[in-house]
Structure 1
């Protein structure tokens, strides 16, 4: 079995309104040293298969549902569990 940790964020060219709102709020709380903030999604999946099949399955899941590939980028890590 393998655990996949999937991280999804907006591409650099896409405005992230949630991140901008959080950044503004943090500046209002006097965290003026904050220059950039990114918000995203995190998924943890456990797959009962080989490492190669798990990687292929996670890739398909990201392409089809977990990430909007037009606006978001993703990366994942696989570890045995």
Structure 2
């Protein structure tokens, strides 16, 4: 079975996010005064093949060891079966 895997990586709340702060200031200058608390992260998408439990375990291992820095970042993994696969 093939799966569409998404790994969402973001800075932990205790870590300052200068990129998010820059985006927040830019939005304010563009007239969006009601926007605050902007945090910028990354999304990694991939297609993986195998048994669902094994794919989920592998995706979590990749997220923890390769795709994120566990000292500064947290992650969330979503696995969805590919339609017609």
TM range (shorter): over 0.9
> 5+ residue gaps in structure 2?
none
Corresponding residue of 2:16: 15
Q: What is the count of residue pairs matched by the alignment?
A: 81
Q: C-alpha distance in 1, partners of 2:37/2:16?
A: 12
Provide the TM-score with structure 1 as the length reference: 0.95
For the 8 Å contact 1:2–1:50, the answer to whether it is kept is no
Q: Where does structure 1 lack aligned partners over 5 or more consecutive residues?
A: none
Q: What RMSD in Å do the two structures reach over aligned CA positions?
A: 0.7
Local SS of the residue matching 1:7: strand
